[in-house]
Structure 1
């Protein structure tokens, strides 16, 4: 048993060094400092997908027999694609040891996970939600992960990136509210101006009517007087 564990540890150390030299696009991973058989990963939602802008935390639990047996795969962050804290049934997970290839590495596992995540193929552990719902999960994932102690400890650079993004969103929200307030104030000023001008407009209209009526009366009187003289 110890020999198998040592074999797994050696292989995982090698895979870790390969990941550092040649990272998987959109995915980072770190082993638990106290247990190399437990790895945590973070998927950054790819552009032009419903997951864009989201950060998705999960874990890989490797057996002592790795690389001869595959790991269990879990997703921790709500995402709209997979159930959280549930073993996922993938061809690269322990649900399918018969299809597992010992030559596959941690990078292969992470690449396969990302590929399956952005697809829509159903499997045990997946859920069916709309793209709109997935985008909502993506937006909420940032603050969710910041409440996860392990996530913050293992991915400090990602935590900084998330905080920068949250600050950017906060500023945009403040600007939007200020613009809305300015627009509302402009509308109120315009309405008040129109109300203030209404009595004046009414008075001018009445004056025009009176002047017009007086002119008409004078004209009639002038015509009648000329007729009388004739």
Structure 2
């Protein structure tokens, strides 16, 4: 079941690509994808290209895919290891009807609209909440250094 669902979703994303988002299987392994999300225009991530690693289990779509950022990102919901804190990917909130394209779009939105109330990195959330100028400058520095 997982294989057919993943193949169908990959085919759909290939036929109808999402703006600023690309995915491809790694070495023809449909259970392992690499992807990129372009930094949203209306955010300090603009101009950056952020690599993702996407791994599906045999239990997909009943369990969420494991997704992490490979590119280093300064963000309250993404840690240094690339782990992502977003409700959509939490096992207890995942719904089998959710498609990976929706998750990728949500990740692009997360870049534009961080959620400091559900932060994975409290120190970055604090900067985001108290000094937006410093936050934006640090994001832009990271984009220049890691996401070009």
TM-score band, normalised by the shorter chain?
0.7 to 0.9
CA distance in 1, matches of 2:22, 2:8: 16
Report the TM-score when normalising by structure 2: 0.81
> Quick one: distance in 2 between partners of 1:120 and 1:46?
12
Any conservation in 1 of the 2:71–2:82 contact (CA below 8 Å)? no
Match of 2:79 in 1: 83
Between the aligned partners of 1:118 and 1:46, the Cα distance in structure 2 is: 6
Match of 2:35, SS state, is strand
The alignment status of 1:13 with 2:7, answered yes or no, reads yes
Q: Which runs of 5+ in 1 are unaligned?
A: 1-6, 144-230
Higher RCO, Cα 8 Å, sep 6+: 2
2:45 match: secondary structure = coil
Q: Aligned pair in 2 of structure 1 residues 35, 124: CA closer, same or farther (>3 Å)? A: farther
Q: Say whether 1:133 aligns with 2:127.
A: no
Tell me the C-alpha RMSD between the 2 structures.
Answer: 1.9
Superposition pairs of residues 93-172 of structure 1, within 5 angstroms: 93=89, 96-122=90-116, 123=118, 125-126=120-121, 128=124, 130-142=135-147
In the TM superposition, what whole-angstrom CA distance separates every residue of 1:46-87 from its partner, at most 9, and x where no partner exists?
Answer: 212100111111112212100111112211111211224343
- Please point out which of 82, 88, 94 is paired with 1:92: 88
Which structure has more helix as a fraction of its residues?
1
- 1:188-203 equivalences under 5 Å are none
State the secondary structure of the residue aligned to 1:116. Answer: helix
Higher strand share: 2
Aligned residues of 2:62 and 2:95 also touching (Cα < 8 A): yes
Runs of 4+ in structure 1 deviating by more than 3 angstroms, as ranges, are 123-127
Q: 1:124 to 1:31 in 2, by over 3 A?
A: farther
2:39–2:108 CA contact under 8 A, matched in 1: no
